[in-house]
Amino acid sequence: MATRVLLVDDVEPVRWDLRTVLSLSGDLEIVGEAANGLEAMRLTESLQPDVVLIDLEMPVMDGYEATRLIKTLCPSCRIVALTVHGYEEARKKAHRFGVDAFFVKGAPIQEIVQTILNKKE
């Protein structure tokens, strides 16, 4: 059974690229896309993805707060952050808010795919 993934990024071309690359990765199914944390929270509630691949800096509701709320709504859902903010404080803050894995944009896509497919870090 494919791992169900929700993509969350405020930049539409980034979501397109992720959808394309992840769809080619075999055991992943993109079940939805959101442009901000509020949409992500709502879609997580209705779609129940296995993994949310989320940007951290977005309008309306950022990825940190969205992660905290998603973990409340769907405790079994894994959150993988994909951000341009690779500094240590962003990483620590992300983990405090409940992020399970953290990647800086530009990381090798195979590492991201492997992390999404792995049930535990």
Which pLDDT tens digit goes with each residue over 97-112?
A: 999 999 988 898 889 8
Whether residue 119 is predicted with pLDDT greater than 90 in this model: the reply is no
- Which residue carries 């442009």 as its tokens? 35
User: Average pLDDT of 77-100?
Assistant: 91
Percent of the chain with pLDDT over 90: 63
The pTM score is 0.92
Give the long-range contacts of residues 91-97, CB within 8 A, separation 24 or more: 93/64, 94/56, 94/63, 94/64, 94/67, 97/64, 97/65, 97/67, 97/68
**Which helix or strand (DSSP H or E) is residue 78 part of?**
strand 78-83
Whether residue 121 is predicted with pLDDT greater than 70 in this model: the reply is no
Averaged pLDDT of the chain: 90
Q: Who has greater pLDDT, 61 or 26?
A: 61
- Taking alpha carbons only, the member of 108, 116, 120 closest to residue 4 is 116
User: Under a CB-based contact definition with an 8 Å cutoff, are residues 63 and 90 in contact?
Assistant: no
- Taking alpha carbons only, the member of 98, 88, 92, 104 closest to residue 121 is 98
3.40.50.620, 3.40.718.10, 3.40.50.920, 3.40.50.2300: CATH of 3-117: 3.40.50.2300
